[in-house]
Amino acid sequence: MRRDFLKLAVSAAALAFAAPMAAQAGQLMDRIEAGETIRIGFANEVPWAYPGEGNEPLGFVNAHALGVLEQMGYTDIEPVVTDWGGLIPGLKAGRFDIITGGMYILKSRCENVNFSEPMAQVSDAFIVASGNPKGIQTYKDLIENDAVMVTGAGFNTVEAAKKEGVPDAQVMQVPGPTEILAAVRSGRADAGAVTFFTAQELAANSGGEVEVTNPAALPEWTQNWVGIAFRPGDQDFLDEFNAAQDAYLGSDEMLAAVAPYGYDEKVLPGDASTEWVCENR
């Protein structure tokens, strides 16, 4: 679904809604009341969130977030593309207002940003050379085979590998999925740790050189929930976003918007709350 996302007028309904909250408004609401854009930050993470022509925000997390914002009456959206590792620093520095990049809700991240209620539940997986010559399915397999794992700087899989006891010397960090695939294809790494969605995308674009491991082989605690991230000072806006998302999530309109990117009813987040996820992930 394509949207006219650049420099559109904020609706009168949105402004009317914002006005009563002016006394307690956060930075984002101040921007909206001043007629400025809502800046969404994301990296190049297919099919989660990625830039199309003219930085058009594509991917299922962007499609969902834009749908929620539209339900709230906001269409004046400006995309800001950055490296994955720059998303939380960029939000905190005020370079954009919302992270729509497809970020897992993790305790370490909850200490720096405020997440919406979950919009998806997903798994991680490895990409490995076709045939999986070292038999890698889990982090423990990496240790036993003295194998090198490549992943993205700032990815949750860095923490997961450390928790499972993978030595730092066996973990290679690169900017993102393109570099992860290149490292596995070249043999510089034995496995690439990414989300299952990303793994499927990379394998499909590898010309048969890599395959995806079974995500169910990883520990239950590696199951993760995805949220939209906000500055702590924008809790007023986040509360309204959560209310709108509650009505939109799982609707026919929402599922139609995200379907082109592989999101279906199986990815819906269930009953887990952000409060629980922040404590348990």
Q: Is the CB of residue 40 less than 8 Å from the CB of residue 241?
A: no
The full set of domain ranges for the chain reads 12-121+225-280, 124-222
pLDDT reading at 14 higher than 80: no
pLDDT of residue 24: 59
| pLDDT value of residue 5 | 46
Q: In whole angstroms, give the CA distance from residue 40 to residue 95.
A: 9
CB atoms within 10 A of CB 158: 18
Say if residue 8's pLDDT is above 50: no
Q: Is the pLDDT of residue 11 over 80?
A: no
CATH class of the structural domain 124-222: alpha beta
Query: According to the model, what pLDDT value does residue 82 have?
Result: 96
Instruction: Please compute the mean of the pLDDT values over residues 16-28 and round it to a whole number.
Output: 55
What pLDDT sits at residue 12? 34
pLDDT of residue 66 exceeding 60:
yes
The per-residue pLDDT for 278 is 98
Radius of gyration for the alpha carbons in the chain, expressed in angstroms and rounded: 19
**Cβ count near 248 (within 10 Å):** 19
pLDDT in tens, 70-98: 999 999 999 999 999 999 999 999 999 99
Same fold, 12-121+225-280 and 124-222: yes
Stretch 124-139: mean pLDDT: 97
CA 227, CA 274: separation in Å to the nearest integer?
8
Superfamily of domain 12-121+225-280: Periplasmic binding protein-like II (3.40.190.10)
pLDDT tens string 247-277: 999 999 999 999 999 999 989 999 999 999 9
Give the mean pLDDT of the chain: 91
- Is residue 23's pLDDT more than 80? no
Q: Tell me the C-alpha distance between 232 and 43, whole Å.
A: 21
175 pLDDT exceeds 80?
yes
Predicted confidence band of residue 18 (pLDDT cuts 50, 70, 90):
very low
Q: What is the mean pLDDT of residues 118-141?
A: 97
List the one residue out of 156, 149, 162 whose CA is nearest residue 195.
156
Provide mean pLDDT across the span 154-174. 96
Band (pLDDT 50/70/90 cuts) for residue 3 is very low
Percent of the chain with pLDDT over 90: 89
268 three-class SS:
coil
Whether 10 has a pLDDT exceeding 60, the answer reads no
What pLDDT was estimated at residue 26?
87
Residue 176: count of CB within 10 angstroms of its CB:
20
